[in-house]
Structure 1
Amino acid sequence: MLDILVIAPHPDDAELGMGGAIVKFISEGLRVGVLDLTSGEPTPHGSLEIRDQETAAATKILGLEWRENLGLPNRSLEATLENRAKLAEVFRRTRPRWLFAPYWVDAHPDHVAATELVEAARFWSKLTKSELAGEPHHPERIFNYYCVHLKLVPQPAFVLDITAEWEQKVAAIRSYESQFITGRPTQSPTFLDQLRDEAAFWGKSIGRPYGEPFTCREPMGLKSMAELL
């Protein structure tokens, strides 16, 4: 039974897009899980065995107690009815209050398909008189994190302060050596340098050292202004 379920097209997307948020949520006592939709393979320097090891290492660093892989095909992820049913059954089994999915505008077809799949599965998950396993469940809201393959500047709905969680996020990302270190340019700015600069940009927007941006298709309600930075 989860409070938050993060859906990632590939292992490492959750870490890149919201690794700091995951660490923060867990530290606040929320039950957080990550569902990777595909293995992420093949890649130039990875393999199924390597990615499994890297994902396990990152999972431990983040402090996650629940992480699964739906086993859908990398590079050809589709929001089919069959895949929708598989994901809806995970929602029914884990019963999260909130879902986090990739931003819906992206150059990577897997990322676009993942968000379409999450939105459709959320609807199916609540249906009665269906052949889906488990009891109906409707997650309250979908939030979207940014892990995009487009050179765009997002206009987020909110930015989360991840200053205290920054080092832990970087350590989790470093676990994916086959993706972000091996074969990458070593001259500055490296991929990790750019990641730091992006986090610093979003931190500056809220007056903090580091931040992660998020958005949501639906309006968000506030009980008070007390927690705003």
Structure 2
Amino acid sequence: MDQLAESLDVLVVAPHPDDAEISVGGTILKTLSQGKRVGVVELTNGEPTPRGSVERRQQETDRSTEVLGLTQRFQLNLPNRSLTNDLDGRRKLAGIFRKTRPKVILAPYWEDAHPDHVAASALADAARFWAKLSRSDLPGDPFHPPKIFYYWSIHLRIHPKPAFVVDISDHIDQKIESVRCYESQVIEGRSTEFPTLLDDIRDRARYWGWTIERAFGEPFASREEIRMDDITTLV
């Protein structure tokens, strides 16, 4: 929270370190390649885990940040494994929204097997509303992020139909490289037989690419209508 915030085009709300890379790493890379500014805010530090530590997770996050080339990255240090949509978390996240003033928020889908992801989704919705309130104790000027879209993690095997799928074909290898930075979470202690967790992540992206007749993709949901100024951009 002590970092100097800059305005962003896209801000990813992630429950834990590695969630942004696993779920929307390709979209992050594609958006950055278009000259846009992209940030990530982790709600927790992700610890404890079987093979991680606070220090190691931070080192892994720093390496992945370099691979992605993120504009900014924040961590709110809310409680891992017991994340809730409470007033403290809502206030902290709304403060980040005001400081970075993103045009688009990417948040976890509202249904998930992991309770932290469900809470993170609710927190993002609530903080988005709080960020626009006047006469509050939040830093900065009131701001309502124009759009929020929702991404899926790896905990659900069956997904509802997405509102759209982003083509990440040119960025799949770099996405996997960014995920691989989290060795304590995705490599150590896991099976080395095919398919590994990294294979699963890549194959999911291949499936979503297949749905849009591209090599690789990442799906998103929306609770709100999406304006289309030029229908031919869908072709």
Q: Indicate whether the TM-score tops 0.5.
A: yes
* Aligned: 1:185 with 2:191: yes
Q: CA RMSD in A?
A: 0.9
* Aligned partner (choices 115, 130, 135) of residue 136 of structure 2: 130
- Structure 1 position 150, deviation (Å): 2.2
Which residue of structure 1 aligns with residue 4 of structure 2? none
TM-score, scaled to structure 1: 0.98
Alpha-carbon distance between aligned partners in 2 of 1:3 and 1:187, rounded to the nearest angstrom: 39
Matches within 5 A, 1:100-115: 100-115=106-121
Give the match's secondary structure for 1:164.
helix
CA contact (8 A) 1:107 1:148 kept: no
- Structure 1 position 154, deviation (Å): 3.2
Which residue of structure 2 aligns with residue 14 of structure 1? 20
Structure 2: runs of 5+ lacking an equivalent: 1-6
Alpha-carbon distance between aligned partners in 2 of 1:45 and 1:64, rounded to the nearest angstrom: 26
* Aligned partner (choices 100, 103, 117) of residue 123 of structure 2: 117
Matches within 5 A, 1:1-229: 1-229=7-235
- Structure 1 position 38, deviation (Å): 0.3
- Structure 1 position 189, deviation (Å): 1.0
Alpha-carbon distance between aligned partners in 1 of 2:41 and 2:57, rounded to the nearest angstrom: 15
TM-score, scaled to structure 2: 0.95
Letter of the structure 2 residue corresponding to residue 217 of structure 1:
R
- Structure 1 position 227, deviation (Å): 2.1
Q: Percent identity at matched positions? A: 55
Alpha-carbon distance between aligned partners in 1 of 2:126 and 2:120, rounded to the nearest angstrom: 10
Structure 1 runs of 4+ aligned residues shifted over 2 Å read none
Alpha-carbon distance between aligned partners in 2 of 1:13 and 1:75, rounded to the nearest angstrom: 14
CA contact (8 A) 1:103 1:145 kept: yes
Higher alpha-carbon deviation: 142-151 or 5-14: 142-151
CA deviations over 1:55-106 (Å, ceiling 9, x no partner): 0011110110200101111001111112111111111111111111001100
Aligned length: 229
CA deviations over 1:143-186 (Å, ceiling 9, x no partner): 00111412213311111110001011000000000000000011
CA contact (8 A) 1:106 1:148 kept: no
CA contact (8 A) 1:144 1:216 kept: yes
Structure 1: runs of 5+ lacking an equivalent: none
Give the match's secondary structure for 1:7.
strand
